């Protein structure tokens, strides 16, 4: 089980010392966790994920080059054609970058929506549908994932905190867990947006 800590902004170096598998940096200016400046040097085994919402491809490629991103989390209404175009742009700059397409879930979800994306992204991420694209602090009903039709690995996100550890342990025993590649955490481990609670993250990582 891999761990992604998203919404990095104010204490990135301290969080990186916990050695999560992924750190997420939000490049959407309407977010309270919008990242500006330089990403500090990170251990080589931590992948940097850029989070974008319906961004222009040129903007994404600029951030990939500037920060040497290893993954793109597309959190808007990006079409399969858009994802394919981004993949082609990345190939042009000879850079291997994973594409993670986000789908937001509230009370139900039509998994047929995944079909056009099967060949144009590397991972899915399932988050809770809320007022903002991510960071809303609420979980969705994971039992919906029993209908997951794909073999593509996915990230599980949406308001996950220390209080969800028992639920995660139960989820691990279910068939729908098979393709759950990583747990993605954010707002439940913050003192303020972008300032992570190190001790709580340490407890969560150890429990995982």
**Full pLDDT tens readout for the chain, 208 residues:** 899 999 999 999 999 999 999 999 999 999 999 999 999 999 999 999 999 999 999 999 999 999 999 999 999 999 999 999 999 999 888 888 999 999 999 878 999 999 999 999 999 999 987 666 655 567 888 999 999 999 999 999 999 999 999 999 999 999 989 999 999 999 999 999 999 999 999 999 999 8
In angstroms and rounded to an integer, the radius of gyration of the C-alpha atoms of the chain is 16
Domains of the chain: 2-207 (3.20.20.70)
What pTM was estimated for this model as a whole?
0.93
């Amino acid at each position: 089980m891999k761990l992604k800590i998203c919404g990095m902004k104010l204490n990135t170096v301290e969080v990186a010392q916990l050695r999560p598998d992924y750190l997420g940096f939000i490049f959407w200016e309407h977010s309270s966790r919008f990242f500006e400046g330089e990403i500090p040097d990170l251990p080589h085994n931590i992948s940097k994920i850029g989070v974008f919402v319906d961004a222009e491809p040129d903007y994404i490629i600029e951030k990939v080059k500037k920060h040497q991103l290893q993954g793109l989390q597309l959190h808007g209404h990006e079409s399969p054609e858009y994802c394919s175009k981004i993949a082609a742009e990345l190939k042009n700059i000879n850079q291997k970058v994973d594409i993670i397409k986000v789908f937001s879930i509230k009370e139900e979800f039509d998994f047929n929506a995944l079909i056009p994306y099967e060949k144009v992204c590397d991972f899915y991420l399932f988050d809770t549908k809320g007022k903002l694209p991510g960071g809303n602090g609420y979980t969705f009903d994971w039992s919906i994932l029993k209908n997951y039709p794909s073999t593509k690995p996915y990230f599980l996100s949406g308001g996950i905190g220390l209080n969800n550890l028992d639920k995660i342990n139960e989820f691990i025993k279910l068939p729908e867990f098979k393709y759950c590649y990583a747990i993605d955490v954010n707002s439940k481990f913050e003192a303020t947006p972008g300032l992570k609670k190190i001790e709580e993250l340490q407890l969560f990582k150890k429990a995982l």
